[in-house]
Chains A and B, each alone.
Chain A
Amino acid sequence: MSDRNDIKGMDGYRASMDSIRASDEFISRTEQRMREIRDKGDISPASRPKLMRFMPYMAAAAACAVIAVAFGSGLGTQDIATNSIPDVKKEEVDSFVAEVSSVTVSDEAEMDEDIMAGGALPVDDLPEEEHDTHVYGELVVSDEAADDDVEEAEAEVGETVLETVSEKAPEPSPSLAENAVTVVSQPKTVQPPKETAAPVVETVTETAPPKEVRKSKPTEATVSEKPVTAAEKPAEPTEEPEGIPAETPENGLDMDAAVRRDGAAAGETAPAEEVRTKAAAAVAAPSEEAAPENSAEAEPIFSPRLVWSVFEGHDITITDGHGRKDTYSGDYADSLLRTLTGATEMTAIGHTPPADPEYTVKTVVDGIECCIYVGTDTVTYETEDENGKVYITYRLISAPSWSAVPEEGFIPETALPVETSVTSVTVTSAAVTGSDTVPTLPVHN
């Protein structure tokens, strides 16, 4: 039993569930049944192999077919009974068996009867390449047939509905794909300016084939876009939010040098309008165009050319250069920050508030307000749990140039609260070529 206690009253829940116990009758009944199955084999109808259960129906169907043919050809009952049935029946049944044994249940199939009759086998029993499928008796049932996934796709706007489409699905359900596109492209109340976010929306809805789109790990986009050098080898993703390493490895960043190359000193201020213009340009320009050609060598370690959604009341939806999109909730700071920054490697270094954030993005995720403080080589995720505010600061070890542009919900500076209008912003850059400028947003509280 777990001792996790961040929900008040969980002890009571555990005590309540503790009281649900297997009765002696259950133990003895199940034990007896298990022994019978072990010793005699399972003879209950539900446990017979699926084809065995169908045999009577198959035989009946074959017989009906033979009778129909026989009557059609003028044979009499006697002929059927004595001559025709045995041979033809066997042939028909064999054919039918072959057909049944190759059935694959499609996404939309009504599987109740088949699955109920089949009995689930564990995925562990399958070859590695078939792990994304459930096997029910003789039937292979596609993984995305799960109702709750479809419900999710239909029910929640902006959800990661495309995750329900598996690469292994031979042909994604047209209805599912339609649902997915419909849901993710449903307009929200505030639309971004057309010159910035609109092209991204079109790309996603028109070119992203559902078959290839699935919920990707945050690191996949960066890895697939460009090879990661040995020095930038991605770390294993953090499995759980609470799994925070105690030590902080050296990251080898030379931010000062990077800033010098860009011709601007760290801490130098620039007019807000200039930064806004550059930020808008960074959004509008495809990441491939902006990336330096000799990216293998000249790629800055941390080039946060990113703009993200500041849309209170909604999850943060990120669309990458491949049209994939992902939605992140408050619990997944690690994934979220990896995606936002494009970092392939990052290390949690502490639980204290950020000392000197470059800028702050504030949003509400799942009804929980959270902030992301972005420094030159760190990002800090702040949220609130039962015990109050929680900060987790990550040091970005490597962040290949990658533009995380929100598909919708991006609100430029006009959407920020009036009282936090921009007065000055710090220009910082880790770009080597000088073409990449960090878009900065004002700190607002």
Chain B
Amino acid sequence: MYSREHDPFDDKYIRYVLETYSDTVIRLCYTYVRNTHDAEDIAEDVFCELIRSRPKLESAEHVKAWLLRVAVNKCKNHLKSARVRLSVPLEDDESGDTIPPPGEGGDVREALMELPEKYRTVIHLYYYEGLSIQEIARVTKTNAATVGTRMARGRSLLKKKLEVR
């Protein structure tokens, strides 16, 4: 892992952060906006925020948690923005250059993406990123019990959606 002891935020560190966390941040953003283009735009802002804020982050876990939290905030801002609210949604991003068509995995992803945002986010963070309930609560700034409730409901809804497919 790259050490920041001598020259924080130098070129190497920027490269390291981008290569290490870009995928994670983009995927989390994708679960919110369901669109790879918007997800990339938001992710770019997240990384720029890192340089602007220059937070003192002691470990890789802190860096990841910081990025995920800022990503959540920015995604929520994005969804609340007038541009998004007033726009007529197109089909979910299936032009998505890199996303495979619905198949074995695509079905589950599609079913998950049909869930309300609050459910799909916690499920993604739990099952894909492997965060604990407490960690999800911190990232999403939600009560841990609420995260658990959303997890249960999300699982139940997902199960029903998969059954009818």
CB distance B80 to A115 under 8 Å?
A: yes
Cβ of A285 < 8 Å from any Cβ of B?
Answer: no
- Of the listed stretches A7-15, A74-82, A83-91, A402-410, chain B binds A7-15
Contact with A along B116-147 (1 / 0, CB 8 A): 11100000101111101110000001011110
CB distance B152 to A330 under 8 Å?
A: yes
Interface residues of B in 102-120 (CB under 8 A from A): 103-109, 112, 116-118
Distance in angstroms between the alpha carbons of A38 and B69 in the assembled complex: 21
CB distance A125 to B53 under 8 Å?
A: yes
Given A1-B129, A124-B66, A148-B118 contact (CB < 8 Å): yes
CB distance from A340 to the nearest CB of B (A): 15
CB distance A7 to B155 under 8 Å?
A: yes
Q: Is the interface of B mostly helix, strand, loop or mixed?
A: helix
Number of interface residues of B (CB under 8 A): 77
Given A21-B23, A112-B80, A112-B81, A16-B106 contact (CB < 8 Å): yes
Q: List residues of chain A with CB within 8 A of the CB of B55.
A: 122, 124-125
CB distance A123 to B127 under 8 Å?
A: no
Interface residues of A in 9-62 (CB under 8 A from B): 9-17, 19-23, 26-27, 29-31, 33-35, 37-38, 42, 47
Cβ of B149 < 8 Å from any Cβ of A?
Answer: yes
Given A125-B53, A332-B149, A13-B159 contact (CB < 8 Å): no
CB-based closest 7 A-B pairs: A2-B130, A12-B105, A22-B22, A16-B105, A120-B73, A13-B108, A331-B152
CB distance B100 to A19 under 8 Å?
A: yes
CB distance from B107 to the nearest CB of A (A): 7
Chain B positions within 8 Å of A, measured between CB atoms, are: 9, 11, 14-15, 18-19, 22-23, 26-27, 30, 36, 39-40, 43-45, 47-53, 55, 62, 66, 69-70, 73-74, 76-77, 80-82, 85, 96-100, 103-109, 112, 116-118, 124, 126-130, 132-134, 141, 143-146, 148-149, 151-153, 155-156, 158-159, 162
Q: List residues of chain B with CB within 8 A of the CB of A332.
A: 145, 148-149, 152
Some 9 contacts from A to B, beta carbons below 8 A apart, are A12-B108, A13-B127, A17-B124, A22-B26, A42-B52, A47-B48, A121-B53, A327-B149, A368-B156
Q: List residues of chain A with CB within 8 A of the CB of B112.
A: 13
Q: List residues of chain A with CB within 8 A of the CB of B70.
A: 120, 122
Cβ of A100 < 8 Å from any Cβ of B?
Answer: no
Contact among B126, B128, B130, B153 for A17, CB-based, below 8 A: B128
Q: List residues of chain A with CB within 8 A of the CB of B80.
A: 111-112, 115-116, 147
CB distance B27 to A160 under 8 Å?
A: no
Contact among A20, A120, A152 for B77, CB-based, below 8 A: A120
CB distance B130 to A122 under 8 Å?
A: no
Chain A positions within 8 Å of B, measured between CB atoms, are: 1-4, 7-17, 19-23, 26-27, 29-31, 33-35, 37-38, 42, 47, 111-113, 115-116, 119-125, 134, 143, 146-148, 152, 160, 163, 215, 217, 239-241, 326-332, 335, 365-368
CB distance B18 to A7 under 8 Å?
A: no
Chain A residue nearest to B74 (CB atoms) is: A120
Chain B residue nearest to A146 (CB atoms) is: B76
CB distance A26 to B44 under 8 Å?
A: yes
CB distance from B10 to the nearest CB of A (A): 9
Distance in angstroms between the alpha carbons of A119 and B81 in the assembled complex: 13
CB distance B53 to A239 under 8 Å?
A: no
Given A4-B127, A120-B70, A26-B40 contact (CB < 8 Å): yes
CB distance B128 to A14 under 8 Å?
A: yes
